[in-house]
Structure 1
Amino acid sequence: MELPEVCVIYLLRRDGERTEVLLGDKRTGLGIGKVVGPGGKVEHGESLRDAAVREVQEETGVVVAASALLPAGRIDYFFPTRPAWSQRSHVFTCTEWSGEPVDSEELAPHWVALEDVPYDRMWDDAARWLPDVLRGGRVDATFTFGPDLATVVDPPRS
């Protein structure tokens, strides 16, 4: 089964003694109300990096160079009771960009210290892999969500 491709980008910065990540409150579409990283659909004919650059700029106003994106892995998401939501997400981190985040129609971005990431307000899978990615690790996993469309029902598979 070929999954629609999406990308998610985690911008990281140092603020004094701590590291922060740019997250945002999702305002529209899939995941409305959740805290997410900037990202979205890869358009037909678009490279993953070009999609990531476009999505970050559209959702936060921040300009990222494709060469500054660090690939951090891939996650396949399956929603058996809502197959249209199933997707393959390509994960990137980035520590270089220009501009300051601003609100968009899609996202209300804000900086969060790594120790304060609100996993309880994110998709159920995030706490299983995001802490490692934010510390420089990688992810290669599959998650299946249950009938409630919110809870992971099987463990990740590498």
Structure 2
Amino acid sequence: MPHPEVCVCYLLRERAGRWEVLLGRKKHGLGAGRLVAPGGKLEPGESPEAACIREVEEEVGLVVAAGALERRGVIDYRFPSREAWSQRSHVFVCRDWRGDPRGSDELDPEWFAVDEVPLERMWDDASRWLPGVLAGGRVERAFVFGDDLATVVEPGPSVA
């Protein structure tokens, strides 16, 4: 059975000659307490792009146009010790939106310099791919998490 599909959107802006990314402290649920980008589960029949637009507005109050989303790849997350957490994540970057970020029941948003992202406050896999994506690259990977549900024990193969 395929894993549930989710999306994540890394919003980027330039300030004083430096690029920044919008992350937020997850308030509850999977990943509570960690820094994450806005995103969430795809609803039945919803495209990854449509889900991304909806989730960004729900979680941080920004309005994104579909044409502004840059598709950057797919990541399979596998949790053998808690299969319900396994998921397939569509990764997007966006540099154009309307509004100012605001907090929600899901996230407390905060801007971070791209070259100073606190990867140690994110999921363990982020250090293996996020800097490359924020620099303009792509990711097509799978990651297997250990029994502690926090540590990558097997950086999986590229995703087909």
Q: Which interval holds the TM-score relative to the shorter structure?
A: over 0.9
Structure 2 Cα separation of the partners of residues 34 and 156 of structure 1: 22
User: Root-mean-square deviation (CA), in Å?
Assistant: 0.6
Give the AA of the match of 2:141.
A
Residue in 1 that maps onto 2:34: 34
**Residues 72-95 of structure 1, C-alpha deviation per residue, up to 9 Å, x if partnerless?**
000000000000000000000000
1:155 partner SS: strand
Residue in 1 that maps onto 2:132: 132
TM-score (norm 2): 0.97
Query: Do residues 109 (structure 1) and 109 (structure 2) align?
Result: yes
**Residues 86-142 of structure 1, C-alpha deviation per residue, up to 9 Å, x if partnerless?**
000000000000000000000000110011101000000000000000011000000
1:3 partner SS: coil
Q: Aligned-pair distance for 1:47?
A: 1.0
Q: Number of paired residues?
A: 158
Alignment of 1:2-13 (within 5 A): 2-13=2-13
TM-score (norm 1): 0.98
Give the AA of the match of 2:20.
E
Alignment of 1:1-158 (within 5 A): 1-158=1-158
Runs of 4+ in 1 over 6 A off after TM superposition: none
Q: Aligned-pair distance for 1:156?
A: 3.5
**Unmatched runs of 5 consecutive residues or more in structure 2:** none
Structure 2 Cα separation of the partners of residues 25 and 134 of structure 1: 19
2:124 partner SS: coil
Give the AA of the match of 2:16.
G
Structure 2 Cα separation of the partners of residues 11 and 156 of structure 1: 26
1:8 partner SS: strand
2:129 partner SS: helix
